[in-house]
Structure 1
Amino acid sequence: MKRRQESIIYQLAVSEGPLTTDELARRLSVSARTIKYEMIEVRSVLPKYGAELFAKRNEGYSIRVRDRELFDRYIEPLSLQSGLTNNFGSDDNARFLYIARKLVSSSRYAKIEDIADELYLSRSAIREAVNSVMNFLKSYHLETESKPGLGIRTFGTEYHMRMAMTELFAVHFHKVLLDNAGMEYAKWTQCGYEERQEIRHVFLKVLRESRIKVTDTNTQRLAIYFIIVRNRCNAGYRIKLPDRWKEELKGTDEISVASEIYRKLNAGFAGFDLPEEETVFLAVYLMSCRDMWNVEQPQTEYALYYQDAKEMMTELQSYMKDICNIDLIRYPWARKELLNLLISLFISIHFGLESLYRFWYDYENQAFHSPVAAALACTAAGFLQDRLDIKISVSFYSQMASLFFKRISLTEYNIRPQKLLLVNSNGLGLNEILQKRIVSRYERLVDSFTIAELYEIRGMNQEEYDAVLTDTSEIAYHYDLPCCVIRTISSEKEMDLLFNRHLIKAYQTEGLIPREEQIEIIKNYRYTDELQFFQFLAFRHGKTEKERERILEFMERVSFYDMGYLSAKSVMLYVPASLCEKECIELYCLADTGSWRGKEVEYLLFLSADWKEDWKRVKALENSFRQLFSEYSNMKAFSERRRPVLFEMIEKCLKYE
């Protein structure tokens, strides 16, 4: 079955309702005519997997499952493939994989015209995919050579070729088999399914018994890497490494673990009697894959990189203070984790493993769904990219965003505990039951309880209290204070309602969001492209030519931040208030749907903020913007009701944090 047909089945399987031909065409970046053609094959193959295609006029296509167990076994690997952030299931990425795999699979020249013919496409139709492949190869420090009449070929160091091949497996999950996008590449990943699982288990057992912790996503990649190593070595390809690497790695945990892994693999499987250089590079690979959040003694373990990382941390801290007015490392844990993260960056630079392009899964990108954390991480990464004259990888950028998100999430709002009036129609003494229950659950949000009869409230100074809790119906309540019905034998729903309606007001966020006059909604904005919008913002917020140049330079420097991670057909751009000389939130509602890096966009949100060294301000805007970008309806509401919507978004976050 072709990749496109599998993508159609996946889209139908996960959809909450039927999908029309046009909707499927839009999701897969193909024509409606192509979808109709592919549906013939989809209809014929589905019964083999316990399902059938159902079509209804004016509604679209859907799948009816007859054998759930059989269908689930089929759909699981498709779900993993389609879980990639960069939409591996689309035709564009299938073309990318086919071309990239072809160029790294062979030392022979390949003609673009021949590749286009193999894909049944014109040369112009694969131009964008070829450009993406060139960028991918460049990120792995691989070069291409072009000769008239022969085509192009890829060359570079053997370990970079292997790293690229490992990534091009694309779905690094032990249950997934290689797809059919470029089968010439398959000889380097050839391995029986059962043996592949056994190799993975041996490797993980050694790792489990060592002091080294490697992130889960990297253990999946390493399991593929071992197979590529064996196949490449058996074909006569050998790694050549700088002589100093062996000396630098002597005595490290990584070299010890690498030696043990290959010793165990050689004892259990054919083809793993490898030269010493393979062990040295595996140690390098393990070092680059290490979970740096858990390194306890970085100064000892990574002495070669520690001082450079420490000095760079000081520079980065100074830069972020100067341009964003925010302190990255006020707390010891933040200092330690940022230092470890920078050590990992210097390790990658030292061994030529920085900038590597990776296929990403949704769960690896969670911090990117926090627009503010991502924007701050992009600001920091942009500085490092310029300062170190390197290309920052999405992997490092993601870790930086996660660090910011952690710092934001651990920040607590100021709390003004609520003063509650308790009323019980069956006698005041029963309120003690409710009081104890509320304290056990929401103690820090409550200042005091005052027990009274309902009729007594009229004679009390109601300004001294925040809410009334009563077990009677709200219909019978006729006082100015907010009221919440909560019975003596209260339910979980009532307790949640108490928090959602009233106790949530204890969190003090009013002064953390820009004032109403600092928020502007621009309707029917005529948008053309990204560069035009950058120039427009620079002209609007820069008073002098020099200021405009600084704003434009900043936006272009951090433009590697993929705005496509944000949803709701919206994009956020952040420029520090130190460059704009004022705080503002501007929402540009486009007159016509535009395109931002190939994605549809209807809203452009511009933020200029002075964080005033107050992480509570960062948290407030992070909470509000995260929710704004989570649903199209939220962004639409903000365009209509402005500032109050931001507080509603904060409260939504507080309800589940």
Structure 2
Amino acid sequence: MNSRAIKILRELLASDQPITSDYLAHILDVTSRTVRDDIKALNHSLHMHGAKIKSTRGTGYELLINDDQNFRHYLNQSLNHVSQEQALLDSPDARIRYLVKRFLLAERYLKLDDLCDEMHISKSTIQSDLRSVKKMLEKHDIYLDKKPNYGLKAIGNEVKLRFAMSEYIFDRSETGSKTIWRDQLSTIADADKEQLDKVWSVIINQIKENHISLADIAINNLYIHIAIAYKRIKSGHQVSLINQEFDEITKQKEYRVAHHIVRAAEEIFMVKFPPEEIAYIAIHLLGTKMVSQTNMSEAELENIMEKQIQIMTTKILDALEAKMHLGIRHDKELLIGLGLHLKPAINRYKYGMNVRNPMLQDIKLNYPLAFEAGIIAGIVLEQEMDVSIDENEIGYIALHIGAAIERKKMQSSPMCCYIVCASGLGSAHLIKYKLKAVFGSRIEVMGTTEYYKLKQIPFDKTDFIVSSVPINEDLPVPVIDVNAILSDKDIAKIEAFVEEDIDHVFEYIQEDLLFLNKDLQTQDEVLAFLVDQISKTTKLPDDYLKRIYEREEIAPTAYGNLIAIPHPITAQTNDTFLTICTLKKPIDWADKRVQFVCLLNVEKDSKEDLQHMYEMLGKMVDNPSLIQQLVQCKNYRDFINTLLAQN
């Protein structure tokens, strides 16, 4: 199975609704006919392994699995045995990853001509790829040293080189089994598999004996780093730590655990680890330890949290409330969970330790609002600690924030209503019980009354009125007019109010700021176009575009499903509105393809609750079918009607 077929299969697996060939063609940057041919070949293979791809005219493709065990076995084998040569032919990203691995593993300088022959590519292609390679390595303070007649070599701090190795030379995706990357580790570290298994056992035993709680991904990281240390020590490379750092680390409990692990590893590998290597392993334990209790009081929390962490947690929550008004400032679980997360994170930032987040893309795709809040938290941390927070860390923070947002939804109190009816008590009760049957706990009926008793309604405790008689008086709460016998249309009107349907969000989508089917070729062109259009009607700061790029540098705003939602790093406009642009053809936006761009402009110092606007954007991000329909729209009315039909 080639890499294009794998991408098709992954899209089908990830979607809970049919996907069209046009959508897949945009994602893969091929024609719809090529997609159909690929699916035909893929279907032939799947048919023998417990699954098939069903095609429905006018709807799209969907994956049907009839033998789960057979299909999973096939999936594991197929996704982990894609040939490197095929990947190189199919994907520029794969070429870049391959080059990064080659430079990180090379002991000598590498000549470009040799790499071109090795990869079967031209010199101009590899020179273009090298620009991306340099950017990836620069994140770890590693640079490519150029030596005339010798070539290029990755140069950097030994600790940073190892972190980069751990990040880039292993396939540790969720689709790759532990056996696969342990096999990789054996080859790359030049170690016997039996030796590596013994090291794994030592790590697990020491963690259990010393009651250190580590996530699976953290254990994997530690295991891989020990093997890398073995390879580097054999090659004559050692990490170095300044005395102050070394002394501080040796005082920690984690240093004693690291000492036991390293002494056992020395016997297994028959190589001497210097003291700095023990400290280096201890950094991993310091950087990943977790406190499992989260049901404690704030007073108990103070006993396990340094003052610095308490202050930072509070500043993050204050910033979130000030900028996004999510209503989660006093969520106790968030306060504790975020604080406990920051405790080990401090050590990661302090020692420049990378953290890998295998859930990052899923978080960005499924919880865009929480991820944006994570960006704000990351900015606070950068300001407070003078460190750079990458999007992997932001993703973990977003999980805590996302959980708080969901809790708020669950805990929201029911809306309170009064029923006004002129037909007598019987019909009023009929409306009441119908509402109870349809809406359950979402609505609390405070009471029923006749029209002439309107003034007796406790408006301060009432969210809205359901009335079967016309009310001409100006009341302090909304009135929903219905029939005495509730029809489906009446229920829909109440539903729209209770759910606060997206109708009121349309005030943010202005016809003169909706640009459909534009022939723009690059991300730069799109952003420049949108900012230019906004500036014709709205006063913008001179550095508005620059602030949009500042946000992109933290984490690209392309979320998958052909959608990007760029915005300035901080609120800049006098009003909140959306500027939307659809494109004739998808463009490259970081590592994603994008055809729908929504520039989000938020009012400075706004106290407005934007939760529903963010939810609408979240629905777009999570709905490939909707985006496919929106990019086909020719005018404002089509666009709005398409949105309405989805809500």
TM-score w.r.t. structure 1 length? 0.70
Contact 1:51–1:65 (CA under 8 A) maintained in structure 2 = yes
> What letter corresponds to residue 287 of structure 1 in structure 2?
L
Contact 1:262–1:279 (CA under 8 A) maintained in structure 2 = yes
Contact 1:419–1:465 (CA under 8 A) maintained in structure 2 = yes
- 1:184–1:313 Cα change, 3 Å: closer
1:381 aligns with 2:378: yes
Superposition pairs for residues 286-435 of structure 1, below 5 Å?
286-291=285-290, 303=306, 306-307=307-308, 309=309, 329-344=329-344, 346-353=346-353, 356=354, 358=356, 361-362=358-359, 365-382=362-379, 385=382, 390-412=387-409, 415-417=414-416
Question: What's the counterpart of residue 442 of structure 1?
Answer: 440
Contact 1:29–1:90 (CA under 8 A) maintained in structure 2 = no
1:628 aligns with 2:620: yes
Secondary structure class of the residue paired with 1:605: strand
1:604 aligns with 2:607: no
Pairwise CA distance, 1:169 = 0.5
> What letter corresponds to residue 283 of structure 1 in structure 2?
A
Question: What's the counterpart of residue 281 of structure 1?
Answer: 280
- 1:598–1:370 Cα change, 3 Å: same
Secondary structure class of the residue paired with 2:122: coil
1:480 to 475, 479, 483: 483
Contact 1:415–1:507 (CA under 8 A) maintained in structure 2 = no
Secondary structure class of the residue paired with 1:102: helix
Secondary structure class of the residue paired with 1:588: strand
Pairwise CA distance, 1:125 = 2.4
Q: How many residues align?
A: 601
Question: What's the counterpart of residue 93 of structure 2?
Answer: 93
- 1:30–1:367 Cα change, 3 Å: closer
1:169 aligns with 2:170: yes
Contact 2:557–2:566 (CA under 8 A) maintained in structure 1 = no
> 1:13, 1:315 → 2: CA distance?
40
Superposition pairs for residues 511-526 of structure 1, below 5 Å?
513=505, 515=507, 522-524=514-516, 525-526=518-519
1:584 to 577, 583, 586: 577
1:175-200 alpha-carbon deviations (Å, 9 max, x no partner) = 2455899x8993326452x7655644
> 1:153, 1:520 → 2: CA distance?
53
Secondary structure class of the residue paired with 2:188: helix
> 2:511, 2:291 → 1: CA distance?
40
- 1:580–1:628 Cα change, 3 Å: same
Contact 1:541–1:548 (CA under 8 A) maintained in structure 2 = no
Contact 2:418–2:445 (CA under 8 A) maintained in structure 1 = yes
Superposition pairs for residues 487-636 of structure 1, below 5 Å?
505-508=497-500, 513=505, 515=507, 522-524=514-516, 525-541=518-534, 547-563=540-556, 565-575=558-568, 578-597=571-590, 599-610=592-603, 617-635=609-627, 636=629
Question: What's the counterpart of residue 216 of structure 2?
Answer: 216
Pairwise CA distance, 1:150 = 0.5
Pairwise CA distance, 1:216 = 3.2
Superposition pairs for residues 85-164 of structure 1, below 5 Å?
91-164=91-164
> 1:52, 1:318 → 2: CA distance?
50
> 1:407, 1:512 → 2: CA distance?
25
1:228 aligns with 2:228: yes
> What letter corresponds to residue 348 of structure 2 in structure 1?
S
Question: What's the counterpart of residue 474 of structure 2?
Answer: none
1:197-238 alpha-carbon deviations (Å, 9 max, x no partner) = 564454334434544333333233233333333343444443
- 1:340–1:583 Cα change, 3 Å: same
Question: What's the counterpart of residue 189 of structure 2?
Answer: 188
Contact 2:171–2:181 (CA under 8 A) maintained in structure 1 = no
Contact 2:515–2:582 (CA under 8 A) maintained in structure 1 = yes
> What letter corresponds to residue 172 of structure 2 in structure 1?
V
Pairwise CA distance, 1:89 = 11
Contact 2:144–2:154 (CA under 8 A) maintained in structure 1 = yes
> 2:30, 2:547 → 1: CA distance?
36
Secondary structure class of the residue paired with 1:212: coil
> 1:271, 1:52 → 2: CA distance?
49
Contact 1:586–1:607 (CA under 8 A) maintained in structure 2 = yes
TM-score w.r.t. structure 2 length? 0.71
> 2:254, 2:491 → 1: CA distance?
50
> 1:557, 1:71 → 2: CA distance?
44
> What letter corresponds to residue 100 of structure 1 in structure 2?
V
CA RMSD, 1 decimal: 5.8
Contact 2:116–2:126 (CA under 8 A) maintained in structure 1 = yes
Pairwise CA distance, 1:364 = 6.2
- 1:9–1:290 Cα change, 3 Å: same
> 2:584, 2:26 → 1: CA distance?
21
1:75-111 alpha-carbon deviations (Å, 9 max, x no partner) = 22555899xxxx9996233322321111111220001
1:291-350 alpha-carbon deviations (Å, 9 max, x no partner) = 4786887866675xx53x556566666766776677874445444444555555543332
Pairwise CA distance, 1:580 = 0.8
Q: Which runs of 5+ in 2 are unaligned?
A: 421-425, 455-463, 469-481
- 1:310–1:203 Cα change, 3 Å: same
- 1:590–1:414 Cα change, 3 Å: farther
Pairwise CA distance, 1:419 = 6.6
- 1:446–1:641 Cα change, 3 Å: farther
Secondary structure class of the residue paired with 1:559: helix
Pairwise CA distance, 1:532 = 3.8
Contact 1:324–1:577 (CA under 8 A) maintained in structure 2 = no
Contact 2:390–2:554 (CA under 8 A) maintained in structure 1 = no
- 1:327–1:567 Cα change, 3 Å: same
> 2:105, 2:585 → 1: CA distance?
44
> 1:560, 1:316 → 2: CA distance?
20
Secondary structure class of the residue paired with 1:579: coil
Pairwise CA distance, 1:411 = 2.6
Secondary structure class of the residue paired with 2:575: coil
> What letter corresponds to residue 377 of structure 1 in structure 2?
G
